[in-house]
Every structure is written in C-alpha cells, then in structure tokens.
Amino acid sequence: MSDPADTRETSKGPSVQTEKNLNVLCFEHHTQMRPSQILLKIGEESEQLPAYVCEEPGCFVRYSSSRGYFVTTPDGRQIEGELTPRISCPKDSRLMYLAEVRPQQRSYRLWRCPECGTSLATEGLSRASS
C-alpha cells in the first residue's frame, strides 16, 4: 500500500563542492589566507582544487579542508615531508585549520574544524610558568 499524501518537498539544493569562507590563517605567517583555486601537480597529472593560499610573497603554504595544510613548489608540486601541522578534529578526524593566534602567548594556537566547527586550543611545549 502506498500513501500518496506522503510527498515531502525538499527545499535543499544539491550540495556544492565549494570551500566555505573560513578564517584560515597561514601557520607560518599567521596572516589570513585567501580562498582560491590552485593547480596541484601529482606525478604527470595536474589537478585543480579549491584551496586557501597565503598572500605573503614567496609563501607556498596552502590549506584545503580535504588535505589540510600543505606546501607546494612555485610550479605547483606538493613538497613531501614538509613540517606542516596536522591537527585532527576529535569528533570527525578532519584536518583542522589555524583560526587564531595570540601575540602575547607565542605558543598558543586555536584550531578549528572545517566540517563541524569544533575548536581546539593547543599550547606549545614552553609553558609560561614563572
């Protein structure tokens, strides 16, 4: 038996694969990164993907919510083994981005999850205990 009255209207549009406008900071410069499209070379292939880019001259730090932070060469190759921070969300293990730093607390970092918005504060090894 089918019920013809049960026709639900879904007002939601199709999910679009674009990056949200997040307040992503470069982990090197602590400046706000700009949402952009980058060309990433993987082997012989090159792949276009939405990513946040640092606007400091000569800085090739990038962030995308799927890959986390990564660093490329000027021609778009990912540099392997670069020391990029990899902080995973405790809820969904997505790679978090740097959302806030404090000039007074040099080791303080606030990370945020691009997926669920969970934030996580970390402090470096040097504790200010005087």
Interface contacts to Zn ion, rule CB under 5 A: 26, 28-29, 54, 56, 59, 61, 89, 91-92, 113, 115-116, 118
Task: Quote the least distance from Cβ 25 to Zn ion, whole Å.
Answer: 9
Task: Quote the least distance from Cβ 117 to Zn ion, whole Å.
Answer: 7
Q: How many CB atoms lie within 10 A of CB 65?
A: 19
Pick between residue 40 and residue 114 the one whose CB is nearest to Zn ion: 114
Query: What's the CA gap between 122 and 124, in Å, rounded?
Result: 7
C-alpha separations of 5 from 10, 12, 41 in Å: 15, 20, 52
Task: Quote the least distance from Cβ 118 to Zn ion, whole Å.
Answer: 5
